[in-house]
Structure 1
Amino acid sequence: MPVVVKDIMKLLCSISEEKNMKATIRHSGRGALVAGAVAFVGGLVGGPPGVAFGGAVGGLLGAWMTSGQFKPVPQILMELPPAEQQKLFNEAVAILRHLEWTDAMQLTMLVMGSEALQQQLLAMLANYITTELQAEIRYDD
């Protein structure tokens, strides 16, 4: 049975879609840069009071920029570069090594029939998203 990355990615997409899993990647570095830049410009224009005003405005602007919109996890998974998909594949195969399947549909049916396998794969996926992608996860009901 050849194990194909595409099959595992379809499975992970199905599971995350079933649980309405969404994630957002926050760009905190970019927000901090904006806050600092606006404070700097405020200081150049208005001296010490300009720094305070620029810092406040820059902080609000930076916070607004970093509050990312949640995207469906299946979309995020399909946009991952091949090297990242391979990492997920390796972790998933370690969980699914005892199963036998011929295609993505059969694999998905096997996993969807097992709550324990679904939970293991969801935990692995959530861990990957929060640690590797540094994203926040939300489950919509």
Structure 2
Amino acid sequence: MPIMVDDIMRLLCSISQERKMKAAVKHSGKGAMVAGAMAFVGGLVGGPPGIAVGGTVGGLLGAWMTSGQFKPVPQILMELPPAEQRKLVNEAMAIIGNLDWTDAVQLTALVMSNQAMQQRLLAMLTTYVTKELQAEIRYED
């Protein structure tokens, strides 16, 4: 079973790498911490008006810090915890379950020669990244 997980994860990485997919996972917690900290400091320094100014500045700073942090999707996939990888593999198996392969290279070759299967896997991967990871996807040219 671990070999199958590794094979399918490599396949998904190959597909996303070929499409040059990048994703930005939203770090809303980090942005909220910055906004809260700035509001707190503003309140200490300037009283009630300082809270408003600090919160505004902190909110803008937090939004700026967390925007545009795009990473290649293959890197994100390989950094997933094992439970999430298994979940993704189970979804992929629903699409490629009828294929017979011996290693990741053969599996990748089988899928890359089948445009319909590629599209189904790409759609599944896109849905997973956007819904489960709550990430924004970009395709580089």
TM-score normalised according to structure 1 size: 0.92
Helix, strand or coil: the match of 1:101?
Answer: coil
Q: How many residues align?
A: 140
**Quick one: which amino acid aligns to residue 55 of structure 2?**
G
Counterpart position of 1:47 = 47
Tell me the distance in 1 between the aligned counterparts of 2:55 and 2:4. 51
Counterpart position of 1:57 = 57
Counterpart position of 1:133 = 133
Tell me the distance in 2 between the aligned counterparts of 1:91 and 1:65. 33
RMSD: 1.5
**Quick one: which amino acid aligns to residue 102 of structure 1?**
T
Counterpart position of 1:116 = 116
TM-score normalised according to structure 2 size: 0.92
* Alignment of 1:88 onto 2:88: yes
Runs of 4+ in 1 over 3 A off after TM superposition: none
**Quick one: which amino acid aligns to residue 49 of structure 2?**
P
Shift of 1:3: 6.6
Structure 1 gaps of 5+ residues are none
Counterpart position of 2:12 = 12
Shift of 1:77: 0.9
**Quick one: which amino acid aligns to residue 43 of structure 1?**
G
- Once the two structures are overlaid, the 10-residue window that deviates more, 49-58 or 92-101, is 49-58
Tell me the distance in 2 between the aligned counterparts of 1:131 and 1:114. 26
Structure 2 gaps of 5+ residues are none
**Quick one: which amino acid aligns to residue 64 of structure 2?**
W
